Amino acid sequence: MLSPKSFPFIEATLPIIAERISSITPNFYNRLFAAHPELLDGIFSRSNQKNGTQQQALAGSIAVFATYLVKHPGTAPETMLARVAHKHTSLGVAEEQYPIVYKHLFDAIAEDLGDALTPEIADAWTEVYWLMAHALIKIEKGLYAQQANAGIYAPWKLVERAETGVDSVILSFEPADGTPVTVAKPGQFVSVRMPMADGLRQVRQYTLSNDVEHARRTITVKLDVNGEFSPVIHNNLEIGGVIELSNPYGDLVIDNEGSPLVIATAGIGCTPSAAALQTLAAHGSTRKITVLHADQEITTWPLREQMLESIGKLPGATLSTWFERGELPEGLNAQSGYMDLAAALSEDAQVYLCGPLPFMNAVRTQALEAGIPAERIHYEVFGPDVWLAA
Ligand code: HEM
């Protein structure tokens, strides 16, 4: 809860900070990496720096958090904090790093606002920072404590590799040493850390798509020929090769029973739902489940066989598909064009979305327009959550 002393200063300066924060965060990251270049080796993604999405996500999260303090005192944006905390813990972010981020963020704010930043305003925003930092640190400590080991990464050996869809590959790993393995929940992800051509390590998060309840990790990686990470994992990793995987994180977890479930995915976004459907099937779930998937064409749909097998075992599940081109396949309730969510929605539906941002924007709007409240629309964004700013 914001102190009575800070409240009026935050209320008065929130519009200006919310407007300026997007130009402050690039300056913050420049300062941070100049002072701590080691943070670019295996923690921060340089692609997300280059395309600006991480700056956007950080700016958005600060604006959302401060708005909550002013408009909904005594509450916190739990979903957003949980999302950031799960991402942080998968990267090994530590409590000792929060003062470092504070210093460079506030130096950047001071430079941007100049004389307009009075000591009272600076103190009030310092309070906001530490309220947010302590909320994150608390969740992060809890998440670290749930793991079977105290490490961030452990070595895992590639034991199986199979092509799926177009340009996607399913990779299965087994532990390469005796580090105790945390049992993952369906829908969770791991961070994958690998050295790039110049020797610097980069990290990406991948949803676990299979065998989530066993001491095996399976991920599905779509090749982005213009990307930095996926070509390395596609081209440099052979059976027997060892890479670093983090413990599993992520709170987009689907329960076996409950109100009707609508799972709407596009392209590679089906990986979390493929894992969830497999687990629901293994547990004999009778939940009413509507699976909607959109793809370019039938052959580009990754994990298709796995998903169809799981859906076949779920008595309450139905499937509809949309394809942009190619011949429509038989038996998959296939239509051409873009996904239409309306027919699948009932009043009490829980909606799960995963896919590219334009797709999610479109289907989220459809769900909201159909009267589904925002808290029942869950989504997984691959990459920094730039929706936080919305
Ligand atoms: C990611 C906020 C402190 C390292 C993020 C994201 C947000 C965020 C919103 C994006 C999450 C997503 O992927 O959707 C914050 C806030 C902080 C804070 C508000 C302080 C109150 C820290 C600290 C570190 C850190 C102390 C440690 C150096 C990272 C890293 C990522 C990240 C490495 C992923 C970046 C990437 O993939 O490019 N943070 N963070 N953060 N944060 Fe923080």
Over residues 15-40, the pLDDT tens digits come to 999 899 888 999 999 999 999 999 99
Q: Is the CB of 385 under 6 A from ligand 1?
A: yes
Gap between the Cα atoms of 27 and 253, Å rounded: 36
DSSP 142-206: HHHHTSSSS-SEEEEEEEEEEEETTTEEEEEEEESS-PPPPPPPTT-EEEEEEE-TTS-EEEEEE
**pTM to 2 decimal places:** 0.88
Q: The tokens 């990406």 sit on which residue?
A: 204
CB-based contacts of 70, cutoff 8 Å, min separation 6? 2, 7, 10, 11, 14
Backbone angles phi, psi at 319, to 5 degrees: -130, 140
Alpha helices (H) in the chain, listed in sequence order = 7-35, 46-50, 53-71, 78-91, 98-113, 119-145, 229-236, 271-282, 304-313, 357-369
Tell me how far the alpha carbon of residue 144 lies from the centroid of ligand 1, in angstroms. Answer: 16
Q: Is 153 exposed, middle or buried (0-12, 13-18, 19+ CB in 10 A)?
A: buried
Residue 232 contacts residue 194 (beta carbons within 8 Å): yes
Distance of alpha carbon 362 from alpha carbon 119, whole angstroms: 44
Q: How many residues does the chain have?
A: 390
In a 3-state reduction of DSSP, which class is residue 51? coil
> How confident is the model at residue 101, as a pLDDT?
96
Does the beta carbon of 93 lie inside 6 Å of ligand 1? yes
Can you tell me the mean pLDDT for 193-218? 88
Q: Which residue's alpha carbon is nearest to atom 21 within ligand 1?
A: 133
Half-sphere exposure of 21 (CA within 13 A, CB side): 21
Domains of the chain with CATH codes: 7-145 (1.10.490.10), 153-246 (2.40.30.10), 261-380 (3.40.50.80)
DSSP state of 43: T
- What pLDDT does residue 231 have? 95
**0.85 surpassed by complex ipTM:** yes
Question: How far apart are the C-alpha atoms of 61 and 84, rounded to whole Å?
Answer: 9
Percent of the chain having pLDDT more than 90?
68
- Give the residue among 79, 377, 77, 118 at the shortest CA–CA distance from 250: 79
45 lines ligand 1 (CB under 6 A): yes
Q: What integer pLDDT is reported at residue 366 of this predicted model?
A: 93
Residue 255 has pLDDT above 80, yes or no: no
Element (H, E) at 336: strand 334-336
User: Is 40 near ligand 1, meaning CB less than 6 Å away?
Assistant: no
340-382 pLDDT, tens digit per residue, is: 988 888 888 999 999 888 898 899 999 999 999 888 888 877 7
- Which of the four pLDDT bands, split at 50, 70 and 90, describes residue 331? confident
Q: What mean pLDDT do residues 113-132 have?
A: 95
- Cα torsion angle, 279, 284, 287, 290, sign: positive
For residue 205, what pLDDT band results from cuts at 50, 70 and 90? very high
Q: Which range among 114-128, 179-193, 198-212, 285-299 shows the weakest confidence by mean pLDDT?
A: 198-212
Q: What is the mean pLDDT of the chain?
A: 91
Distance (Å) from CA 384 to ligand 1 centroid: 9
Buried b (16+ CB within 10 A) or exposed e, 75-112: eebeebbbbbbbbbbbbbbeeebbeebeebbbebbeeb
Q: Which atom of ligand 1 is nearest to the CA of 54?
A: 38
CA pair distance 331, 324, nearest whole angstrom: 17
What is the best residue among 21, 45, 84, 90 to mutate for testing ligand 1's pocket, by most ligand atoms within 8 Å of CB? 84
Show which residues are catalytic. Answer: 98, 140
Q: What is the pLDDT of residue 213?
A: 62
- Any ligand 1 atom below 6 A from CB of 136: yes
Residue 345's Cβ-side half-sphere holds a number of Cα atoms within 13 Å equal to 21
What lies within 8 Å, CB to CB, of 30 at 6+ separation is none
User: Could you count the other beta carbons within 10 Å of the beta carbon of residue 240?
Assistant: 9
**pLDDT for residue 388:** 60
Tell me the CA–centroid distance for residue 290 and ligand 1, in Å.
Answer: 34
- Which residue's CA lies nearest to atom 28 of ligand 1? 97
Higher-pLDDT residue of 384, 222: 222
- Sign for the pseudo-dihedral over CA of 51, 384, 136, 138: negative
pLDDT attached to residue 314: 95
Q: Distance from the CA of 83 to the center of ligand 1, in angstroms?
A: 10
Task: Measure 89 CA to ligand 1 centroid, in angstroms.
Answer: 10
pLDDT, residue 301, reads 93
| pLDDT above 80 for 50 | yes
Top mutation candidate among 29, 33, 68, 93 for ligand 1, by most atoms within 8 Å of CB: 93
Which pLDDT tens digit goes with each residue over 56-112? 889 889 988 999 999 988 888 888 899 999 999 999 999 999 999 999 999 999 999
Give the separation between CA 38 and CA 218, rounded to whole angstroms: 29
Q: Is 221 in the pocket of ligand 1 (CB under 6 A)?
A: no
Q: What is the pLDDT of residue 80?
A: 87
pLDDT for the residue numbered 155: 98
